[in-house]
Chain A
Amino acid sequence: MSSHPHAPAHEDAADAHHGHGHEAGHGSLKGYMIGFGLSVILTAVPFILVMAGTFDSKLLTAFLVMALAVVQIIVHMVYFLHMSPRSEGGWTMMALIFTLVIVGITLAGSLWVMHHLNANMMPMSPEMMKNMP
């Protein structure tokens, strides 16, 4: 508690808020501005890449767009949501990791299974197409 040299006038409110175990709950103006600056860059670059068609290779552009999105999500988590391995005794991080695993399984699993299903479907002839409902 000695690390909180608060003005006495705000003692009550500040103390009620800066309770135990809140090390990572708050941002600073600097933190928000860094996060905002990085976000602007990380948003502008993928839009420019796609709108200006900087690279001929669609695969490369797609990879860069998704990679920049992941970086920006991490930037938001750190600078806006104030995630850190220490917040709430590590439980928010545990919940986040669990969710990421589930999200990964859901996304990768769905895309993989459905792609397989599509790829293994019997091709349709025009005659079969005509008899479709």
Chain B
Amino acid sequence: MAHDIQTQAGEKPVFYLTEDHHPEGSTNLGFWLYLMSDCLIFAVLFATHGVLGRNYAAGPSPADLFDLPLVAINTAMLLFSSITYGFAMLQMERNAKAETLFWLAITGLFGLAFLGLELYEFAHLINEGAGPTRSAFLSSFFTLVGTHGLHVTFGIIWLVTLMVQVSKRGLIPENRRRLMCLSMFWHFLDVIWIGVFSFVYLMGVLG
């Protein structure tokens, strides 16, 4: 590549242009590496739950506690928010600012619905006396699901920040890059949630 540029610099300035785009690409790779390290955090929490998930300390078991229809609705909320974020990205590629903002707002609302349901579930559990201090199972449950919820919370804060950015400055390359990163983050959270509802809720209720 370097040789090409040196020998043909005068004739093909196109090479310089394409080289200029590489920093944008490496942001994606760097953000992917961050997501992978985040994945390790969740792997450790999943492992903890796998080890402690049956230690009820003579307390309630998942079958007593978990309300699967509620979890199903929660899962649907997160899945809907994933697809609406996808629509936002498609509108971004069409350079349609208003539509992008519209789909981002819908995504945020689904995210809020997810968080609301999760907080309702947590409050319900704690009210029943099944708080994180009740047993090792509940400690690891609250840590794992709570960490995921915290990620969604920060994702929503990020989403609102980007909506302000886009509405003020438009779909400039910087904002496109940021939206791309948040897109990866948001879909990644949905991937983690697949593990949560399968491994923690469904397997827990199975016993």
Residues of A whose CB lies within 8 Å of any CB of B are 1, 10, 13-14, 16-17, 19-22, 25-29, 32-33, 35-36, 39-40, 43, 46-47, 50-51, 58, 61-62, 65-66, 68-69, 72-73, 76-77, 80-81, 88, 91-92, 95-96, 98-99, 102-103, 106-107, 110-111, 114
Contact = CB atoms under 8 A, between A and B. Distances in A.
Nearest to A91: B29
Contacts of A91: 29
Contact of B39 (A26, A51, A99): A99
A39 B206 CA distance: 22
Contacts of B87: 29, 32
A65 B206 contact: yes
A28 B82 CA distance: 14
6 A-B pairs with least C-beta separation: A19-B21, A69-B198, A110-B47, A20-B18, A32-B86, A103-B43
Contact of A107 (B33, B50, B171, B180): B50
A13 B95 contact: yes
B86 A17 contact: no
A56 B180 CA distance: 45
Contacts, number: 144
Nearest to B25: A21
Interface stretch (B110-118, B149-157, B186-194): B186-194
Interface in B160-187: 171, 173, 176, 180, 184, 187
19 contacts: A13-B95, A13-B171, A19-B24, A26-B89, A26-B93, A27-B86, A27-B90, A36-B79, A43-B72, A65-B203, A66-B199, A76-B194, A80-B190, A88-B32, A92-B32, A95-B33, A106-B47, A111-B47, A114-B51
B205 interface: yes
Looking at chain A's contact residues, the main secondary structure is helix
Contacts of A106: 40, 43-44, 47
Contact of B187 (A47, A76, A92, A103): A76
B25 to A, nearest CB: 5
Contacts of B180: 25
Contacts of A13: 95, 171, 173
B190 A99 contact: no
Contacts of B36: 95-96, 98-99
A133 to B, nearest CB: 14
Contacts of B194: 43, 69, 72-73, 76
Nearest to A9: B95
